[in-house]
């Protein structure tokens, strides 16, 4: 049950992330899209939960932020004084950008870039090479040297960076303005703010972060990824990829950062940050999303309140909640959730049937910024029919989430959603909707959003970044044409800032340190084995609809009885809401030739009717079934047969292979 997604920079991991939609609160054109009221309660009226009305569209102004000049060649010395008279470096067309957090003043943002074309040493400009962290001005001003950006890590002496990792992904800021988190490093300028002239390379230190995984504290520590700084600036969330029972899996963790100036165990034996008081955000004894009813061993039960942290994505602005990609609330629908770190109360942040995972919650916890494929119809063939219970998802989530991408082609665009989530016809507001869709415009569909959008401390701006679709995700046999870049120097990545111009700035409030203890988590013991996620054992069960009918569910395990291999479901007048009635069958089998490769055999013949008896939706595979092969690390869609969802006469079909 590996409900997870894998993210990428270059070839390490791959994540998913283009139609031009109307500005404002979106609707998807008529009755084809089936809304669902899955938002949490905002108030109580007559004893019943009530969600507030959807917010009205607000004015948003999107502009591009400056980056270093582009060199047409990455060869040594190609970044000439003519390209950059300030001798402060160039980037290539393939800049490998990743935007990050705002600094506490709200006038600077962090970004990771690849410098290229630097001259050879001992030229002072030789330090502007390779993967580095920069700070970019957002207010149109420049640093004293005349650039709108400053490189923070360029030229840091080797002695100030013992044990650092090369990865500099997901740059995030500490509230003191003196430190940054990037990859598994913390960049520290001592008493000086990172933006000041006093913060020089000689005064900057890069400290590695180490997670101890051995009982005696020896060795280099465990491999961690997708780090997220908690708003208290004391704790850190991270993810750990693993293989359990031959299948790729992942868990989220929470830990306290502790500076260790003189380590006596483990490597590196240099000043570093150790992760202590580590908690795995998972309890194998806790209720799972799909389980056997202990009072009725022949029945299954679904618990939408189960905490299912597949991939940790961050924290709420107040720090009270952890955000994550969780087990689907509806079949094949991958959403983001938030769970209270104390109480375990779960909120479903999104409910649209398209795919989402990059997410950031505003400082006041009232708004969510996401990167989502909604509006592209990319996932509708799988998830468009609403209200199907998430039963086949016991084995399909790795495969269904992987269909969101075409290799490095993302289908994400940025959206703004209020705290109460998708409900009725409200599906959020597209942040970059105001444009004509022409090449290079803010809503050019070939500029695809990437992770992660980030809020400014005062809640009035959101920074995000995009990448242009390039071969082989366009051109050649791919029917999507390749558009030339209109960005400066022809670069294929850009950093954008969205200003919410009608908002009153918030007054940032410091977040008090949270407890090291997460009551619903499991304290991590170094050297302990990684648990497998529990699942209902092999057998035939009944799943009762909340309003009517039932489903017969047959679960078959593999020969070793270590994982589920097949789930078959037969619905008879099944309904959880009383408005949609489901009949028909669905059977899915999954094999994993390697831990990351999914071979899926999918047979579907579902019919959904309304209370009036009219058919509103079908989900059908071709007579020989739908057969998908996809790897969670590469996301190249390869299928034979078809799987089609039709809603009120509109058919949603699968992507073509390699598109």
**Max CA separation in the chain (angstroms):** 79
Phi-psi region of 408 (alpha: psi -120 to 50; beta: other; left: phi over 0): alpha
What percentage of residues in the chain have a pLDDT greater than 70? Answer: 93
* CA–CA distance, 178 with 204 (Å, rounded to integer): 10
Residue 159: name the closest of 100, 127, 204 by CA.
204
459, pLDDT greater than 80: yes
**40: three-class secondary structure by DSSP:** coil
Name the residue with higher pLDDT: 30 or 273: 273
Evaluate whether 427 touches 419 at the Cβ level (below 8 Å). no
| Cβ-based neighbour number of residue 7 at 10 Å | 22
Mean pLDDT of the chain: 92
Q: In what order do the strands lie in the sheet with 356-361?
A: 356-361, 367-372, 413-418, 429-430
ω into residue 469 within 30 of 0, thus cis?
Answer: no
The predicted-structure confidence for 507-540, as pLDDT tens digits, reads as follows 998 999 999 999 999 999 999 999 999 999 999 9
What percentage of residues in the chain have a pLDDT greater than 90? Answer: 86
Pairing of strands 638-640, 650-652: unpaired
Average pLDDT (274-278) is: 98
Question: DSSP readout, 546-613?
Answer: SSEEEEEEEEEE-TTSSSEEEEEEEEEEEESSSSEEEEEEEEEEEE-SSTTEEEEEEEEEEEEEETTS
Name the residue with higher pLDDT: 436 or 18: 436
The answer for residues whose C-beta is within 8 angstroms of residue 286's C-beta and 6 or more apart is: 306, 307, 520
Q: How many residues does the chain have?
A: 659
**394: three-class secondary structure by DSSP:** helix
Q: 20: pLDDT confidence band, cut at 50, 70 and 90?
A: very low
> Which range (43-57, 298-312, 340-354) has the least confidence?
43-57
31, pLDDT greater than 50: no
Q: Which residue has 């990351």 as its token pair? A: 596
480, pLDDT greater than 90: no
Domain segments of the chain as ranges: 43-523
* CA–CA distance, 564 with 553 (Å, rounded to integer): 13
Instruction: Provide the sign of the torsion angle of the four alpha carbons 501, 412, 643, 244, taken in this order.
Output: negative
pTM of the model: 0.92
User: Can you give the pLDDT at residue 608?
Assistant: 97
18, pLDDT greater than 70: no
Q: 49: pLDDT confidence band, cut at 50, 70 and 90?
A: low
| Cβ-based neighbour number of residue 592 at 10 Å | 20
Beta bridge partners of 626: 602
| Cβ-based neighbour number of residue 638 at 10 Å | 12
Residue 123: name the closest of 189, 68, 77, 75 by CA.
77
Residue 518: name the closest of 118, 204, 237, 109 by CA.
237
CA quadruple 102, 40, 615, 380: dihedral, nearest 10: 20
Evaluate whether 375 touches 413 at the Cβ level (below 8 Å). yes
26, pLDDT greater than 90: no
Measured distance between the N- and C-terminal CA atoms of the chain, rounded to whole angstroms? 27
38, pLDDT greater than 90: no
The predicted-structure confidence for 147-156, as pLDDT tens digits, reads as follows 999 999 999 9
Alpha carbons within 13 A on the beta-carbon side of 20 = 14
User: Can you give the pLDDT at residue 658?
Assistant: 87
The predicted-structure confidence for 227-265, as pLDDT tens digits, reads as follows 999 999 999 999 999 998 889 999 999 999 999 999 999
334, pLDDT greater than 80: yes
Give the DSSP H or E segment for 239: strand 235-244
User: Can you give the pLDDT at residue 476?
Assistant: 86
Burial of 440 (0-12, 13-18, 19+ CB in 10 A): middle
Residue 168: name the closest of 106, 119, 227 by CA.
227
User: Can you give the pLDDT at residue 29?
Assistant: 30
User: Can you give the pLDDT at residue 643?
Assistant: 98
Pairing of strands 493-500, 60-64: antiparallel
Burial of 334 (0-12, 13-18, 19+ CB in 10 A): buried
The predicted-structure confidence for 406-440, as pLDDT tens digits, reads as follows 888 889 999 999 999 999 999 999 999 999 999 99
């Amino acid at each position: 049950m590996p409900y997870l997604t894998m993210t990428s920079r270059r070839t390490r991991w791959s994540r998913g992330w283009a139609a031009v939609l109307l500005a404002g609160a979106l609707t998807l054109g008529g009755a084809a899209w089936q809304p669902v009221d899955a938002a949490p309660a905002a108030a109580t009226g007559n004893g019943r939960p009530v969600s507030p009305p959807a917010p009205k569209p607000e004015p948003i102004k999107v502009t591009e932020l400056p980056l270093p000049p582009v060199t047409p060649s990455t060869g040594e010395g190609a970044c000439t004084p003519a390209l950059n008279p300030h001798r402060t470096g160039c980037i290539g067309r393939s800049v490998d950008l990743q935007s990050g957090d705002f600094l506490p003043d709200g006038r600077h943002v962090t970004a990771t870039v690849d410098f290229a074309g630097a001259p050879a040493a001992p030229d002072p400009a030789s330090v502007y090479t390779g993967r580095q962290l920069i700070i970019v001005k957002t207010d149109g001003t420049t640093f004293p040297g005349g650039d709108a950006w400053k490189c923070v890590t360029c030229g840091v002496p080797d002695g100030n960076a013992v044990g650092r990792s090369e990865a500099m992904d997901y740059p995030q800021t500490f509230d003191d303005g003196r430190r940054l988190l990037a990859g598994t490093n913390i960049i520290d300028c001592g008493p000086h703010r990172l933006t000041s002239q006093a913060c020089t390379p000689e005064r900057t230190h890069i400290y590695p972060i180490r997670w101890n995984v051995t009982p005696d504290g020896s060795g280099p520590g465990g491999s961690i990824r997708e780090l997220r700084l908690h708003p208290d600036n004391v704790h850190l969330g991270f993810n750990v990829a693993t293989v359990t029972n031959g299948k790729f899996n992942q868990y989220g963790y929470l830990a306290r950062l502790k500076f260790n100036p003189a380590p006596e165990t483990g490597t590196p034996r240099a000043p570093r940050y150790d992760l202590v008081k580590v908690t795995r955000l998972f309890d194998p004894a806790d209720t799972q999303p799909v389980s056997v009813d202990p009072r009725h061993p022949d029945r299954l039960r679904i618990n939408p309140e189960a905490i299912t942290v597949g991939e940790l994505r961050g924290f709420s602005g107040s720090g009270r909640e952890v955000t994550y990609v969780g087990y689907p609330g509806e079949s094949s629908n991958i959403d983001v959730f938030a769970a209270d770190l104390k109480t375990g109360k779960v909120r479903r942040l999104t409910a649209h049937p398209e795919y989402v995972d990059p997410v950031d919650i505003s400082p006041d916890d009232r708004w969510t910024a996401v990167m989502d494929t909604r509006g592209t119809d990319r996932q509708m063939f799988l998830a468009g029919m609403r209200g199907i219970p998430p039963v086949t998802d016991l084995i399909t989530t790795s495969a269904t989430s992987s269909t969101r991408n075409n290799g490095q082609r993302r289908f994400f665009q940025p959206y703004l959603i209020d705290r109460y989530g998708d409900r009725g016809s409200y599906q959020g507001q597209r942040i970059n909707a105001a444009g004509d869709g022409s090449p290079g415009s803010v809503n050019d569909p070939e500029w695809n959003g990437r992770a992660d959008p980030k809020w400014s401390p005062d809640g009035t701006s959101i920074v995000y970044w995009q990448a242009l679709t390039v071969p082989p995700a366009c051109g050649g046999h791919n029917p999507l044409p390749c558009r030339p870049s209109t960005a400066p120097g022809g670069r294929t990545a850009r950093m954008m800032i969205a200003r919410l111009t009608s908002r009153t700035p918030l007054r940032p409030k410091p977040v008090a340190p949270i407890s090291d203890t997460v009551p619903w988590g499991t304290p991590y013991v170094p050297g302990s084995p990684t648990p497998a996620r529990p699942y209902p054992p092999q057998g035939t069960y009944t799943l009762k609809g909340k309003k009517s009918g039932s489903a017969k569910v047959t679960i078959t395990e593999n020969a070793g009885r270590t994982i589920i291999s097949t789930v078959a479901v037969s619905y008879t007048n099944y309904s959880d809401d009383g408005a949609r009635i489901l009949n028909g069958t669905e059977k899915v089998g999954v094999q994993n030739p390697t831990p990351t490769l999914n071979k899926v055999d999918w047979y579907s013949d579902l019919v959904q009717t309304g209370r009036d008896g009219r058919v509103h939706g079908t989900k059908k595979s071709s007579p020989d079934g739908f057969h998908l092969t996809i790897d969670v690390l590469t996301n190249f869609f390869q299928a034979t047969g078809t799987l089609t969802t039709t809603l009120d006469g509109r058919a949603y079909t699968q992507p073509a292979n390699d598109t």
